[in-house]
Amino acid sequence: MSDTRLTQKHLEVIQNFENLLEDGIANQTMSDIASNLRVSLRTLYEIAPSKEKLVISTIDRILTNIAKQALGSLKNMESSVDKLRTFTKIGNEAAGPRIQKYAVDLTKIKGADEMIRSHESAYIDHIKRLLEEAVEKDEIESVDTRAVAIMLGTVARIFSKKNHQEKLAASAEESANMISGLIIDGLVKPK
């Protein structure tokens, strides 16, 4: 899905498809999806050549927009620790509950796992850069920033697994934010 070839109508269809995805479309055909979106099948195929590509590109778009929002929210912050807290909180929301809404559809689609891993890797890399910045500014203790970034970057996904969710006292997102906060607080140098 390339934004350069998409019309305003296509963008509206994509937005509506994002909403439809939240309800799940695992058993729907492209024809069913077009009918639910009240667009022609042709319009849907102009956006993506298959249901799988439509799902992958739409979720990729959702995650890319969340990443842009997260990075944009850091612009006016001076403290690297504050940036890290904000970034991981937004990431925990995206990687946890938001992406889990699409889990059933994603498990059935070839290439979806690779796309999710790519976003997770970029997320972890950015957390690592924020940690390195915090070390340079002497805001946190010197640590293996890759190890901490991997932990912070995967905690929401781990808690979002159904077998873990059932055992948590709070939501997956709240639990991920608590653990992220504990990790970050443990790194902060006393003032």
For residue range 4-40, list pLDDT tens digits in order: 577 888 888 888 888 888 777 777 889 999 999 999 9
CATH number corresponding to 51-187:
1.10.357.10
Residues 6+ apart with CB under 8 A from 55: 21, 25, 102, 105, 106, 109, 112
Q: Is 139 left (phi over 0), alpha (psi -120 to 50) or beta?
A: alpha
pTM of the complete model: 0.82
Through-space distance between the first and last CA atoms of the chain, rounded to whole angstroms: 49
Q: Give the range among 80-94, 152-166, 170-184 with minimum mean pLDDT.
A: 152-166
Look at residue 125 in the predicted model and tell me its pLDDT.
97
Domain(s) of CATH 1.10.357.10: residues in the chain: 51-187
pLDDT(45) > 50:
yes
Residues 6+ apart with CB under 8 A from 27: none
**How far is it between the farthest Cα atoms of the chain?**
62
For residue range 126-146, list pLDDT tens digits in order: 999 999 999 999 999 999 999
Q: Is 110 left (phi over 0), alpha (psi -120 to 50) or beta?
A: beta
